[in-house]
A and B are shown apart, each in its own frame.
Chain A
């Protein structure tokens, strides 16, 4: 009864487990960054693809998760255990996304987007201004945490990241992916999609649009914050830059790159993006020009992104109805 997709996923998961043997350390760390962005991408896409809301302020939610870890390290070093850090980061993300979401979802979709941007800029300003608490633009250094009782003090970060932490990260990634799969295929997920499709009709069949958008926003924020928290260990450092509009733009970009119409799109996009950015930044200082130009090209020519375009190619024969006209799901 298991669909072929399940085996593909399983195969990929097993491959992921072998990555530390296959990749040199530096590459592995880059890949780990990509994985944390992928978790964030899943959250972002719940909002974009499934609820129809485009947020230009998700960097703030990522930063919330990351700073939660940083602040815990700074103010509660005794509690610096991953079993505590992750839940705290989730709690922080819950609070911030509930606030952001409450403000943003009451507006039309266009205003939602720019309001999210505005709120993230407020958070950015606060992170920079309150230097004493947040470390200002210097940010906070992230130490290696105690994981399930085992301390890694004294170990070099790259050792930590290519060892125990990698497997932890992959497990978290798998859990998040499974969770998100469940959500989007559930009646809740269908309700979100109906809101995206036709909010008036959704309201008319008894779905409280505003409330469900808020739920979606909060869930999105939880995944994004999780990504931020997990990323903080990889990066070793958290700065307000994560909350800045440029990063929020990169989040949108990587989701589009991979294709937001397909569930796996943001994952592909996030990983691709990390490599793309590294390469681009090494050959030019005009990184934003490249993202800007490619974003425009993507929107004009390949709105389904790379993964999406791939899928479209393969399922071209499927969406043909009785009258023989191919109906392409364009959004």
Chain B
């Protein structure tokens, strides 16, 4: 019986990463209409940045340094997002959608090697924060506190995004743009600057997810590819452009993955893709329609 609690908690843990990355992807898709193929790379930058910070300076004060690493990761990913948007995506705005895909794919490859250039091809370990946080007792089992921290952090981030979107002027403008771009423009909303902001927020969220994963998984080249595909699957399953969609989609995929690991270890990711693909065959517009 207790094992199921663990599985469910694990599911929430996986869902947290999915939520952060898919929320970012969703915001960009919703506000700008662009499917950002470089999203996984932004995740990767966050992962490497955090891992490097924690690994280099984390010996003395692991938790503090961890937070430094986390915010550094969000900062640099966000910054990279701003750079990408202004230099590459803005000029493509009036071209066919495929060009936007091509340019973000080009950015994906570029960033992948950029990471190699900056951080080299070795793995970066940053497990100190994980070990330092220790475990709590759940019945017969021990459960890592870090996992619970991750879930909390993503809830906080989700709340933060929700607050921005619904309570601030900027957020409301962003939502207006995602609902009807022409209308928003007609009402005098400055689309250009807000697009950049949306991209920056989306990128920072991806970076946050990347940073959160390194205490449990080393930062390696190619680390961003799976999160990219998973985020996409979540967005498609849960519905485009909505926070609720990202939330529900992440929970479904996260829990499925958790159970998948128990019964089909090693192939749980391809299996997950397969399930998602099968669902898409019957419900091409995702589980929650348009």
A-B contact pairs, 25 of them (CB 8 A): A56-B105, A103-B277, A103-B280, A103-B281, A106-B280, A106-B281, A107-B284, A110-B101, A111-B35, A114-B35, A118-B273, A118-B276, A122-B277, A129-B266, A249-B108, A252-B105, A288-B112, A289-B110, A289-B113, A289-B114, A292-B107, A293-B110, A300-B91, A300-B92, A300-B103
Please report the C-alpha to C-alpha distance between residue A103 and residue B112 in the assembled complex, in whole angstroms. 29
The reply to whether B102 and A252 form a contact with Cβ atoms under 8 Å apart is yes
The reply to whether B99 and A303 form a contact with Cβ atoms under 8 Å apart is yes
The reply to whether B98 and A296 form a contact with Cβ atoms under 8 Å apart is no
The reply to whether B110 and A296 form a contact with Cβ atoms under 8 Å apart is yes
- 1/0 per position for A238-252, CB-CB distance to B under 8 A? 000000011001001
Q: Which of B35, B113, B266 contacts A292 (CB 8 A)?
A: B113
Q: Considering the complex, which residues of chain A in the window 242-273 have a beta carbon less than 8 Å from any beta carbon of chain B?
A: 245-246, 249, 252, 256
Q: Considering the complex, which residues of chain B in the window 252-290 have a beta carbon less than 8 Å from any beta carbon of chain A?
A: 266-267, 269-270, 273-274, 276-277, 280-281, 284
Cβ of B111 within 8 Å of any chain A Cβ, yes or no, is yes
Cβ of B232 within 8 Å of any chain A Cβ, yes or no, is yes
Cβ–Cβ < 8 Å partners of A107 in chain B: 280, 284
Please report the C-alpha to C-alpha distance between residue A110 and residue B117 in the assembled complex, in whole angstroms. 31
The reply to whether B98 and A109 form a contact with Cβ atoms under 8 Å apart is yes
Residue of B nearest to A118 (CB): B229
Residue of A nearest to B38 (CB): A292
Residue of B nearest to A331 (CB): B96
Residue of A nearest to B229 (CB): A118
Q: Considering the complex, which residues of chain A in the window 70-105 have a beta carbon less than 8 Å from any beta carbon of chain B?
A: 102-103
Cβ–Cβ < 8 Å partners of B97 in chain A: 109-110
The reply to whether A296 and B236 form a contact with Cβ atoms under 8 Å apart is no
Cβ–Cβ < 8 Å partners of B276 in chain A: 118
| A interface size (C-beta, 8 A) | 42
Cβ of A147 within 8 Å of any chain B Cβ, yes or no, is no
Residue of A nearest to B33 (CB): A110
Please report the C-alpha to C-alpha distance between residue A318 and residue B37 in the assembled complex, in whole angstroms. 37
- 1/0 per position for A287-323, CB-CB distance to B under 8 A? 1110111011001100100000000000000000000
Please report the C-alpha to C-alpha distance between residue A239 and residue B208 in the assembled complex, in whole angstroms. 35
- 1/0 per position for B231-263, CB-CB distance to A under 8 A? 011001000000000000000000000000000
| B interface size (C-beta, 8 A) | 41
Q: Which of B106, B116, B233, B281 contacts A118 (CB 8 A)?
A: B233
Q: Which of B92, B114, B233, B273 contacts A299 (CB 8 A)?
A: B92
Cβ–Cβ < 8 Å partners of B277 in chain A: 103, 115, 118-119, 122
A223 to chain B, nearest CB (A): 20
- 1/0 per position for A55-80, CB-CB distance to B under 8 A? 01000000000000000000000000
Residue of B nearest to A296 (CB): B106
The reply to whether B102 and A54 form a contact with Cβ atoms under 8 Å apart is yes
Cβ of B109 within 8 Å of any chain A Cβ, yes or no, is yes
Please report the C-alpha to C-alpha distance between residue A293 and residue B106 in the assembled complex, in whole angstroms. 7
Please report the C-alpha to C-alpha distance between residue A280 and residue B96 in the assembled complex, in whole angstroms. 30
Cβ of A164 within 8 Å of any chain B Cβ, yes or no, is no
Cβ–Cβ < 8 Å partners of B98 in chain A: 48, 52, 54, 109, 113
Cβ–Cβ < 8 Å partners of A54 in chain B: 98, 101-102
Cβ of B88 within 8 Å of any chain A Cβ, yes or no, is yes
Please report the C-alpha to C-alpha distance between residue A217 and residue B186 in the assembled complex, in whole angstroms. 40
Besides A107-B284, A122-B273, 4 other CB < 8 A contacts? A102-B281, A103-B277, A114-B229, A114-B232
Please report the C-alpha to C-alpha distance between residue A322 and residue B111 in the assembled complex, in whole angstroms. 47
Please report the C-alpha to C-alpha distance between residue A102 and residue B284 in the assembled complex, in whole angstroms. 11
The reply to whether A292 and B281 form a contact with Cβ atoms under 8 Å apart is no
The reply to whether A129 and B109 form a contact with Cβ atoms under 8 Å apart is no
Cβ–Cβ < 8 Å partners of B274 in chain A: 122
Please report the C-alpha to C-alpha distance between residue A102 and residue B277 in the assembled complex, in whole angstroms. 11
Cβ–Cβ < 8 Å partners of B68 in chain A: none
Cβ of B184 within 8 Å of any chain A Cβ, yes or no, is no
Cβ of B225 within 8 Å of any chain A Cβ, yes or no, is yes
Residue of A nearest to B88 (CB): A296
Residue of A nearest to B112 (CB): A288
Q: Which of B99, B106, B114, B269 has the most CB of A within 10 A?
A: B106
Residue of B nearest to A294 (CB): B106
Please report the C-alpha to C-alpha distance between residue A286 and residue B111 in the assembled complex, in whole angstroms. 11
- Check A299/B281 contact, CB under 8 A, given A121-B225, A125-B269: no
B122 to chain A, nearest CB (A): 14
The reply to whether A292 and B284 form a contact with Cβ atoms under 8 Å apart is no
Q: Which of A102, A114, A121, A286 contacts B37 (CB 8 A)?
A: A114
The reply to whether A249 and B105 form a contact with Cβ atoms under 8 Å apart is yes
Please report the C-alpha to C-alpha distance between residue A293 and residue B208 in the assembled complex, in whole angstroms. 26
A216 to chain B, nearest CB (A): 15
The reply to whether A289 and B109 form a contact with Cβ atoms under 8 Å apart is yes
- 1/0 per position for B93-135, CB-CB distance to A under 8 A? 0011111011101111111111011000000000000000000
